[in-house]
């Protein structure tokens, strides 16, 4: 099993930055870690993912060039640096783990999920 705990969400003005963290515990070796988000009334959508070694990453088009995903396996933590935030980035952000070290954008292919952290961007 894998346990995931997100932190770092909050309220920020448009154009500002936030860094989300997700602390993982349990069976974390050789896992892909990803970030998803869900706004009210919308489906959960892929944001970014990083492979176990950090050599492979993927981003949603909506965040490419503004968000950066990284991981520190010594700390069992994945980060999402979010810059140039827009009101449309407002959502609950979830961390997820995929146990086969595949980069995938499909929520159902992730095996474990955190509880989420709220990000609100004001205009």
pLDDT > 70 fraction of the chain, expressed in percent and rounded: 100
Mean pLDDT confidence for 72-86: 97
pLDDT at 54: 86
Instruction: At 63, list the tokens.
Output: 């965040």
pLDDT tens digits for range 53-64: 888 999 999 999
Q: How many angstroms separate the CA atoms of 69 and 113, rounded?
A: 17
Which tokens is 103 given?
């980069």
For 21-35, write each residue's pLDDT tens digit.
999 999 888 999 999
| pLDDT tens-digit series, residues 6-25 | 999 999 999 999 999 999 99
Average pLDDT, the chain: 96
Beta bridge partners of 37: 45, 93
The residue assigned the tokens 């997700």 is 22
- Beta bridge mates, 23: 5, 77
Q: What is the DSSP letter of 107?
A: G
Residue 29 is predicted with a pLDDT of 87
Question: In this predicted structure, what is the pLDDT of residue 94?
Answer: 98
């Amino acid at each position: 099993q894998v346990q995931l705990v997100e932190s770092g969400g909050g309220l920020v003005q448009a154009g500002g930055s936030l860094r989300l963290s997700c602390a993982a515990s349990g069976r974390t070796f050789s896992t892909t870690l990803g970030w998803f988000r869900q706004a009210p009334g919308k489906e959960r959508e892929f944001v970014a993912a990083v492979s176990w070694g950090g050599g492979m990453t993927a981003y949603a088009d909506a965040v490419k060039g503004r968000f950066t995903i990284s991981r520190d396996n010594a700390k069992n933590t994945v980060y999402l640096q979010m810059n140039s935030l827009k009101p449309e980035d407002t959502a609950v952000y979830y961390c997820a783990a995929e146990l086969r070290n595949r980069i995938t954008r499909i929520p159902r292919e992730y095996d474990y999920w955190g509880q989420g952290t709220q990000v609100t961007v004001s205009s």
